[in-house]
A = this chain, B = another copy of it.
Amino acid sequence: MSDKKLADIQKDFSQWYQDIVYEAELVDQAPVRGCFVIRPYGTEIWDNIKSVLDKRIKETGHENALFPLLIPLSFINKEAQHVEGFAPELAIVTKAGGKDLEEPLVVRPTSETMIHFMFAKWIKSWRDLPLKINHWANVVRWEMRPRAFIRTTEFFWQEGHTAHATKEQALEEVLLMLQEYVNLAQDYLAIPVIKGRKSEKEKFPGAEKTYTFEALMQDGKAVQMGTSHLLSQSFAKSFEMQYQDKEGKLAYPFLTSWGATTRLVGALIMSHGDQKGLVLPPKIAPIQVVIIPILKKNADNSAVMDMANLVKSKLEGFARVKIDSDETKSPGAKFFKWELKGVPVRMEIGSRDVESKSVVVADRLGMAKESVYIDNIENYIRELLENIQNTMFERAKERLAAQWHKKEKLADFGPEMQEIGGFYQTGWCQDPECEKELKKYQASTRCVLEEKTFKKCFNCDKDSVSDVLVAKSY
């Protein structure tokens, strides 16, 4: 970590993001196009997100399995829309074991084809349904405009894959997992999100319907946080996934897939960060409380260190606590470092605090800085962490509300959207030709909403089918 200042978050958000991901030691550039090393602090944030999501995936009746990284190229070619969508992004193994391969292998960009091949072996009877599998994996999609966490050639994710006897059950699954994602974003990442359906143009290659949850970053650009797909039956048919139903007839199951990626870490940074650095929600922060003992040079600091250890032991049962006792750095340098790293609570302990049996507690949001008697410290910190988590979500909701506009005609709101960003809720006839007009303002449809508050399309004179959210996006 250098002492380099971050770019001005108001004037150059993009450069601020570039600065913070390196300065907070979340990532480093790797010597392969579009790839990043995720450093320990970034890995810990991702692992915390993973463990919350993994628990819910299991609690909703799914089991984890591990599928191969390499997929025969012919598999990808089996579903027409799928291959069209992914072909330009594939990394292809043509040599292995010292020989040219007879059939090239694709480094998986997603695992539908491999998993459906296996499903076809496993699903023989109606008793085998529903089949609910989840896969934590790395995937590769060749990326021309890389951006740490947000767009990377290799990324990490979970991909859920399920098979059901009826379309209704499949759709129920799609919406259930979408709601799990929304809960993760709002209750843990403190990011308010909007859920809705992707347009035909924006949906997953090979899906019948794609549902998405979208968040708005501080610079007014949207991030697609994750998606949940009701797949078309063509996947099941391509892999001859036939089973005997209760009546003894051959049937194809209805499939879903749903995924969330390391991109969530990027959204976390861009939702909450400030000029001083990261701001991490307590539920996800690798370190929730950092204790900084104020050490004197050439003096006996044992009373201060004893108190730091005592406080740490009081908090460890419910909080992730670190004591920064590095003697080569000044307290000021430590404050700077842990603010940059977004630690929610900072505690200072000096010799005077030892006498008064109290510690100075400050929060990363700048709400308060107080001296707290150590007999009360557990309750105080427990409440403060909860308060920080809630306040972050409230602030993010207020920001979202301020950046969310309802407008009738693209010609009127387009220039403003292009200039300052934001979500624009408007009416849409659902004609792809009107959707294309958004490109003029570097925007796209983010999701089709259930409500209908506009009578006419944002572009043409036709009636609106339902509202749509449009925005510039990452």
Contact = CB atoms under 8 A, between A and B. Distances in A.
Interface in A1-53: 28, 30-32, 35-40, 42-44, 46-47
Contacts of A105: 32, 91
Interface stretch (A137-145, A230-238, A274-282, A387-395): A137-145
B93 A64 contact: no
A368 interface: no
Contacts of A70: 32, 35, 91, 107, 140, 153-154
A117 B36 CA distance: 13
Contacts of A96: 90-92, 142
A65 interface: yes
A28 B68 CA distance: 11
A127 interface: yes
A215 B95 CA distance: 35
B43 A117 contact: no
Interface residues of A, number: 56
A440 to B, nearest CB: 27
A35 to B, nearest CB: 4
Interface in A71-85: 71-72, 75
A332 interface: no
B65 A32 contact: no
A39 B65 contact: yes
Contact of A72 (B31, B87, B122): B31
Contacts of A72: 31-32
Nearest to A135: B43
A316 interface: no
B91 A28 contact: no
A142 B97 contact: yes
Interface in A132-181: 133, 138, 140, 142, 144, 153-154, 156
A220 to B, nearest CB: 30
A153 to B, nearest CB: 8
A36 B39 CA distance: 30
B133 A69 contact: no
Interface in A370-414: none
Contacts of A97: 88-91, 142, 144
Nearest to A127: B328
Contact of A64 (B43, B64, B65, B92): B43
Given A89-B97, A92-B95, A98-B87, A43 B65 contact: yes
Contact of A107 (B35, B107, B117, B133): B107
Contact of A156 (B64, B66, B107, B117): B66
A369 interface: no
Contact of A92 (B37, B43, B71, B94): B94
B87 A64 contact: no
A140 B118 CA distance: 21
Contacts of A37: 65-68, 118
Contacts of A68: 30, 32, 35-37, 154
B38 A118 contact: no
Contacts of A416: none
A290 B89 CA distance: 46
A133 B64 CA distance: 26
Given A40-B133, A70-B154, A28 B64 contact: no
A140 B32 contact: no
Nearest to A96: B91
A463 interface: no
- Which 7 A-B pairs have CB atoms at the shortest separation, nearest pair first? A97-B142, A40-B63, A38-B66, A91-B96, A35-B68, A92-B95, A30-B68
24 contacts: A30-B67, A31-B72, A35-B68, A35-B70, A37-B65, A37-B67, A37-B68, A38-B66, A43-B63, A46-B66, A66-B156, A70-B91, A87-B98, A88-B97, A90-B96, A90-B97, A91-B96, A91-B97, A92-B93, A92-B94, A93-B107, A94-B94, A107-B107, A138-B138
